Amino acid sequence: MATHHGVWHKTTVEAAREQQQTYQTANLAGLKRASDGTWKQPAGGATPSLRTSSHFERASSLSKEPSRLTASTIRVVDGASWSEPGDYTQRQAISATPTSTVDPLLSLSHRLYGLPPVLVHNLASLGIKTIYPWQKQCLLGPGLLQGDKNLVYSAPTGGGKSLVADILMLKGVLADRGAKALLVLPYVALVQEKVRWLRNVVQGISLAAIHGQSGESENKLWRKRADEDTIRVVGFFGGSKIRSTWQDFDIGVCTIEKANSLVNTAIEDCSISSLKTVVLDELHMVDDDHRGYLLELMATKLLCLDQAVQIVGMSATLTNINLLARWLHAHSYETHYRPIPIEEHLAYDGKIYAAATARKLSRLAPSTQSKDKTTIQVDADPLRLIDRSDHKELQESVVNAVVALANETVRAGFGALVFSSSRAMCESDALLISRVLPSQDELDPLTLDRRLDLLGDLRSLNTGLDANLEKTIPYGVAFHHAGMTTEERDLVANAYDAGVLKVCVATCSLAAGINLPARRVILHSARMGRDLVGPSMLRQMRGRAGRKGKDEVGETYLCCRPGDLDGVVELIHSDLPEISSCLSTDQRKIQRAVLEIIAIRLATSHESLNDYIIKTLLYQTADRSELRTMIAESLDELQRLGFITRDEDAATFQATQLGHAIVASALDPEDGVFIHKELRRALKAFVMDGELHVLYTFTPVNDTSVNINWRIFWNEMENLDESGLRVLSFVGLKPSVISRMVHGGTFKESTPEEKEVARIYRRFYLALQLRDLCNEMPIHRVAKKYDVPRGAVQNLAQTCQGFAAGMIKFCQQMGWGAMAATLDHFSDRLKAGAKDDLLALAKITFIKSRTARVFWDNGFKTVAAVANADPQELVPILMQAQPNKLRLQSKDETKYAEKLLAKAQVITDSANRLWQIEMQLEIEEE
């Protein structure tokens, strides 16, 4: 075994030692890091000067360095070895992945795949020159490449599973002219990332050439727009104002909610016939109690169609794959192959163990004669030891382990991803890790320059630069959590991916939300908030270890406190839970399922309704008699609420106008009742001499996580004008209740009536925040005013944009055109974060809120004015639009002016496109 360990298991430190690296703090100024991570002397042997004058000026703009700490040393235990083989056994079994010269079918250019040369070339340019043997075997499953069979498959994170779905999806789109495909992802960040990827993949592909059309005259017969000769990839997610029609895209990349809405609309207007392929990524989320049932509803509707739609479902964490394959009538495939194997460890009480030996760590019951609360029985031999720290900040063993492991990774020339249980813990870990990494004087000038550029980019955001990021980024460390804005998170993620940052400390949600692999993944604990994460989430986090093309190995370290040991040991060795339907967990989900298929006329009788139910995942496991009872009760409740009507024999049913409105706006039936009641009341006395009533209408109805600061609520109520006070009274809020809460009262939410009242107070409190955003108050000021994270304010605005789109559809379906037009106008204001006069400018790329106001004040009041401007004359305006702090601290003015000039060019190009559209519309109207 010792030999096996020496050959197959190398920690980051051991791998680096083979490269003759050193980990002691050393002055590395003027040296450059080579591709292998080592530091090299510049040509000529002379050590360059420490800094240029410009660099001295920029470095002096940083805040004073915090006091430095020394990370604990991690020592290898003599004779330590694995007690059993780990994932490296696949390296022994497969010494090297076969190439296309050995197996021609590993080349995507093989005629069997039928992919156009341009597509193969694009994939090669993106780094995909051959495929893995498992991908070949999966793709060659029965009827898959022809689109005749559905597919459900499972492969580890980082194993290349997305490529299989991409190929099948592109085959479907290229098979027929006008064919469409949907790719369904759980998070907006993943949608945006996938849109960028797919646009690169399909670049330059001509549909006319593929389908044998040549000649301009023939093309005109089927093309409405010039871009219809290309494969158009469009993203759909909450708040997007893109019209959900099949005509404007070939591949729609959607969130779960948007995909379900698209399918509903297409079935209802009979345009669904063009849909050929649907890819369900993260298929295990069908088990998610909040959103999973929507995946089930959508897939079941596709199974009910008379046409063939190839459904491709994939996940890294599927257990009962056979059940899902049976539900979807699909071929199933499963692999455990990872191109980058992972070695897993448990860090406990200053010792590092192989995760496979975790069962040998056990907690014994407390002894009556011992002062210790627990006694730990250790039968496993540690691989390495983490020295105790003399620093008070690092006394706690888990914190000390996290910092030591991150420090070791960076000094070996690699990147680390640290997962923490909360936002506060993220920032605390980042600050501590930054204090042990090489100081600014030890960094080469290029590295420090790139980090200073990142600080400049963060300062240039409307939110300004976070004080803690300002402290950590110069040392190559940043954090990433939901309390940050989308722009901040994107800048951090891109900088980490580019190697500018070496350590990213994130909350657990990052594991599933975005693709950021690392050489070493460190889990500060196995908790997400107060609770232990589940086996699926643990695998998601661990799966981020190992960068394909950059690392030969991935490493994970789960750091564990004594109180969590039992749970962590069980978690490490637990199997993934079996996937099951969520439809049975809440009667409202069944009601929504039934209402949707009736509204889109997929089921108009008991026979067709039963056909739908038989095709659900729920039907595969549910008790048949209980299921029949649930359906009957749902039909009765939907009729009682006025959402459907049935004929005298109750044999057929159809949706009412209200039922159609609820489905069109993607509301749950219960929420639809509340919204209908609120809007009908608003129709009788809508407060139109202010904006608060409209914004109240935009706030989501089911967010119970809103924490009201009653003192702030009272202060805002005191400052309301006469219009705002009328809204307050109209929606039913009482100043006496707010006053009582300010003085320590309790808010009861026991009965349905009390819950409805609480919902109104929460909505009005959020409407106050939206009011400030619409009146050009920057996100960071709103966050400070209401004592909430910046990311929470931005997320509120984005969520409300999506909800507003639903409210507009609701009003249109109900025939309330005037209210729909009013809501639509304020939806534009909310998206722009600006007043009426700036709405046109706010459509230009990079022009939002504050920047739009600065352009307006400088005389650029129309899109045409910006379109006809010289980009050079916009640079001073863009400089003026930046926060004052940036202008004072950015000393490298020439470099900064170049960046602003490039931004100005994008702005004028965007304005020109908008201006041309405006002119074309004017010509058509004439």
Domains of the chain: 134-334 (3.40.50.300), 342-573 (3.40.50.300), 583-655 (1.10.10.10), 665-833 (1.10.3380.20), 836-926 (no CATH)
* pLDDT cut 90: percent of the chain above it: 40
- 782 — pLDDT class (breaks 50, 70, 90): very high
Please list the helix, strand and coil fractions of the chain in percent, rounded to the nearest 5, in that order: 50, 10, 35
- Which H or E run includes 352? strand 351-354
How many whole angstroms separate alpha carbon 574 and alpha carbon 319? 12
Range from 70-74, 536-540, 691-695, 770-774 carrying the lowest mean pLDDT: 536-540
pLDDT of residue 591: 93
Q: Express each pLDDT in 792-851 by its tens digit.
A: 898 888 888 888 888 999 999 999 998 888 888 888 888 888 888 888 888 888 887 788
Tokens of 514: 């975005």
How many whole angstroms separate alpha carbon 9 and alpha carbon 11? 7
Collect all residues with Cβ–Cβ distance below 8 Å to 451 and sequence separation of at least 6: 473, 474, 476, 500, 501
How many whole angstroms separate alpha carbon 674 and alpha carbon 692? 19
Q: Residues 302-315: what's their mean pLDDT?
A: 94
**766 close to 796: Cβ distance less than 8 angstroms:** yes
Between 434 and 847, the higher pLDDT residue: 434
Q: Residues 100-126: what's their mean pLDDT?
A: 89
Which DSSP letter does residue 226 get?
G
pLDDT of residue 503: 96
Pick the closest to residue 878 from 910, 846, 909 (CA basis): 846
**677 close to 760: Cβ distance less than 8 angstroms:** no
What's the pTM?
A: 0.82
Distances (CA, A) of 800 to 238, 490, 769, 794, 878: 9, 21, 11, 10, 29
Could you write out the DSSP letters of every residue in 410-463? Answer: HHTT--EEEEESSHHHHHHHHHHHHTTSPPGGGS-HHHHHHHHHHHHHHHTSTT
Distances (CA, A) of 725 to 450, 484, 731, 864, 903: 51, 33, 10, 40, 43
Say yes or no to pLDDT of 472 above 90: yes
Across the chain, what does the average pLDDT equal? Answer: 82
Range from 201-215, 236-250, 905-919 carrying the lowest mean pLDDT: 236-250
